[in-house]
Structures are given as C-alpha cells and as structure tokens.
Amino acid sequence: MARPKQISDTVLYRAAQRVYQRRGHHNFALSELPREVKLSRAAIIQRLEGAEALKIALSADALSFFEDALRELPSTRDGDSLIALAAFIGDTLTERTQLASYLQNFQADLADKHLAELDERRAAALFDAVSERMPKIAVEHASAVQAFVAHMGGSLLQWQILAETVSAKQFMIDRTRVWLQIAGIPHDKDNPHQENNSCRP
C-alpha cells in the first residue's frame, strides 16, 4: 500500500508560486522548492511534470491573477481611475531588479509560443483596462489609450533608472498626475492611492 502524501499537491504548488514570484520565469528552479516544503528534490521532481510545464502553468496563473486584479480596480472613465490603474501597475514592482529581469527576459519569452501568447494576453488586458477608463479627450480614443500605456511603460523605466527613494507605486501616481494635466483630464489631487512621500517634479 502506498504511503500517504505528507505534502499535498496544493501546498507544493503554492510553494512553487512563491518561488516563481521571487525569481521570475527564467530564474525559476525546482531546486529551490525543498527550502519551501519538507520534501527532497527527487520527491518534488517525481511529483511534478517537469520544470518547463510547471513554469508555463505558473505564468498562466500569474496572468489570471493580473486580469482578475485589473477587473477589481475602479473603472469609471476619469482621471482617478487611471491613477488607480497606474498605482496598481507600480505596486506590482517592489524592487528595480524585477523590472530589469522582466525586460531582459522579454525577448526570450517571444521565442516560446506559450509565453508569447501569455505576453500578448497580458498586453491586451492592460490595453483594455486603460481603454475602459480613458475619458473622451481631444485625440482619438485608441491613440489616447496607446499614449497612456506608453506613459506607464516609460515611467517605469524612468523609475528604474533614476535614484529615486520613492516606491514605484508613488512614482507612477505622481507621473500619471502630470500626464493627466497635460492631457487635460481632471482628477482628484487628494487621491486615496497616494502615499505620503513623493518624487521629484
């Protein structure tokens, strides 16, 4: 008779998710899992289908979480909803190395059919989220959405390069307020998503 599993598949998968969050897709390794759960590396490899299949599953889960989180944000067509969206995007980064790792691995992702499809879905989800929140302004709607998406990408790069002491979230809030002023989109200056510190003008 087979011995009962000491660690459930769910617990093992949650541990893999934690490692994946810390390390990212390309740096994820099954060898880190024994530190998260009390199983040998051999037992983990036997229980899982393989590192590549697991990484694809973890990437798909991360994307589903991202899509669900976008749906939970305020979705009125106004500046405050755009600020909340930018704050959420900034809040996904806790360290500059996360963004650097993502950018470094993006090209490799495009070479993998499954990862390229997930990246395409992620980009479409973000574009749709901005589109849903973008109010009517002087330029055509799709152009305004593309400009805002570009603003967020550029702001994240600027945050990574500059020796800023503020969080990515606060940096995104501050830069988005400037973008909204330029675009003529009204917004609440005392937005509840603002943190106490602020970045350089």
pLDDT of residue 184: 95
List all residues 6 or more positions away from 184 whose beta carbon is below 8 Å from its beta carbon.
137, 138
How far apart CA 44 and CA 83 sit, in angstroms, is 43
For residue 95, how many C-alpha atoms fall within 13 Å in the half-sphere facing its CB? 9
pLDDT of residue 197: 40
Burial class from Cβ neighbours inside 10 Å (0-12, 13-18, 19+) for residue 40 reads exposed
pLDDT of residue 200: 36
Residue-wise pLDDT for 6-29, tens only, equals 677 788 878 887 777 777 666 777
How far apart CA 109 and CA 156 sit, in angstroms, is 20
Burial class from Cβ neighbours inside 10 Å (0-12, 13-18, 19+) for residue 13 reads middle
- DSSP one-letter code for 25: T
Residue-wise pLDDT for 106-144, tens only, equals 555 666 788 788 889 999 999 999 999 999 999 999 999
Rounded to two decimals, the pTM is 0.75
pLDDT cut 70: percent of the chain above it: 78
Reported as a pLDDT band with limits 50, 70 and 90, residue 201 is very low
